[in-house]
Structure 1
Amino acid sequence: MAIKIFSGIVAVILMLVYLAPVMLKLWDPALSLVMLVGFALMLFDLWQSLQSKTD
């Protein structure tokens, strides 16, 4: 379980590092909204995978 949590934290950080410069440089509201929705979906999927009982 600790490996799943560590991997999830690394994935969240990498996605933020990858998307933040694009969002800040272009600063298009529609693009920012799409990126935020994608980030929310990634967090939801991570939460579901951490809640699952199978390893």
Structure 2
Amino acid sequence: MEKSTRALLMKSFAGIVAMILMLGYLLPPVFKLKETDLAIAIVCGLVLMLIDLWQSLKSKED
């Protein structure tokens, strides 16, 4: 496998794992507290995380 392809796969895998871990950490308080404002803030943070991951994957540098 080519080095750049392997690096892209590792970045993708690390980003997905980070997103899953962040969801696992932030969602239990939302379900327990049932606060709409908190849920909106967490969703905004997760969207920003996805945008950052997308931009990181699109960039050519490692």
| Superposition TM-score, scaled by structure 2 size | 0.84
1:32 alignment partner in structure 2: 39
After TM superposition, give the deviation of residue 35 of structure 1 in Å. 0.6
What is the aligned-residue RMSD (CA, Å)? 0.6
Q: Structure 2: which 5+ runs fail to align? A: 1-7
Identity of matched residues, %: 53
Q: Between Structure 1 and Structure 2, whose CA radius of gyration is higher?
A: 2
* 4+ aligned runs moved over 2 Å, structure 1: none
| Superposition TM-score, scaled by structure 1 size | 0.94
Q: Tell me the number of residue pairs that the alignment of Structure 1 and Structure 2 aligns.
A: 55
Q: Structure 1: which 5+ runs fail to align? A: none
